[in-house]
Amino acid sequence: MKKMIIRAVGFGVCWWGMASWAYAAIEEKTATAIITTTTAAVAVLGEVHFTEKEDGVQVAAHLTAVPAGNHGFHIHENGACADSGKAAGGHFNPDNHQHGLLTKDSLEGAHAGDLGNITINADGSGDYSEFIKGLSLSGGKYNIVGKAVIVHEKPDDFGQPTGNAGGRIGCGIIEINK
């Protein structure tokens, strides 16, 4: 009888452990920025999804109704899109670095908002999918929640100080999914 109880307790602990592990794997922290035009007649251009991983954030965007070609695609420091996107301020840059490209230069050598370009096809749609090491959705210096994603008029050519990407045609604020 005693042996059976111990076995039952052992099974219970093991099952609970596996269940909590599975729960942790499912409960990833995610955030979304709905990108809208910065013009007076606001229209939705698409969404940017952020998924927090152990050592960074996966960024996945899908846009439509954008002119074909490359468009500078950055995280800007303020969570605001007013005044044709100018309210978003400069590139998110907590370390006072030069402008660069995160997937190439990392957080050591670029602004923390330097996602690069999103490529738009002839049909006006385009996708962006990159893992950015070091960014966070959970606080700290590289937390991007509450900041703005900007889609620029022109390509980011990685020149200084901000890539010469021109005006701001799309903007959205990064908000945690609840």
Sites of contact with Zn ion (CB under 5 A): 91, 99, 111, 114
Q: Which residue number places its CB atom closest to Cu ion?
A: 74
Distance CA 49, CA 126 (A): 14
3-state secondary structure of 45: strand
Question: Is residue 74 part of the contact set for Cu ion (CB under 5 A)?
Answer: yes
Four-point Cα dihedral 55, 116, 160, 82, nearest 10: -100
> In the complex, what is the shortest distance from the CB of residue 87 to Zn ion, in angstroms, rounded to a whole number?
17
> In the complex, what is the shortest distance from the CB of residue 61 to Cu ion, in angstroms, rounded to a whole number?
14
Closest CB to Zn ion among 77 and 114? 114
* Tokens 């152990």 found at: 54
Q: Interacting stretch for Cu ion, rule CB under 5 A, among 3-11, 24-32, 58-66, 69-77?
A: 69-77
> In the complex, what is the shortest distance from the CB of residue 110 to Zn ion, in angstroms, rounded to a whole number?
7
What is the DSSP pairing of strand 69-76 with strand 114-120? antiparallel
**Site map 100..139 versus Cu ion, x via CB under 5 A:** ----------------------------------------
Closest CB to Zn ion among 52 and 77? 77
3-state secondary structure of 102: helix
Residues in the chain: 178
> If we measure between CA atoms, which residue out of 124, 111, 15, 102 comes closest to residue 57?
102
CB 147 within 8 A of CB 77: yes
* 147 binds, options Cu ion, Zn ion, none, Cβ within 5 to 8 A by partner type: none
Q: The tokens of 10 are what? A: 């052992």
> In the complex, what is the shortest distance from the CB of residue 150 to Cu ion, in angstroms, rounded to a whole number?
4
Task: State the alpha helices, DSSP H only, in 42-114.
Answer: 102-109
* 150 binds, options Cu ion, Zn ion, none, Cβ within 5 to 8 A by partner type: Cu ion
* 99 binds, options Cu ion, Zn ion, none, Cβ within 5 to 8 A by partner type: Zn ion
Q: The tokens of 146 are what? A: 């509450």
Interface of this chain with Cu ion, residues 140 to 159, rule: CB under 5 A: 150
Catalog residues that contact Cu ion under the rule CB under 5 A: 74, 150
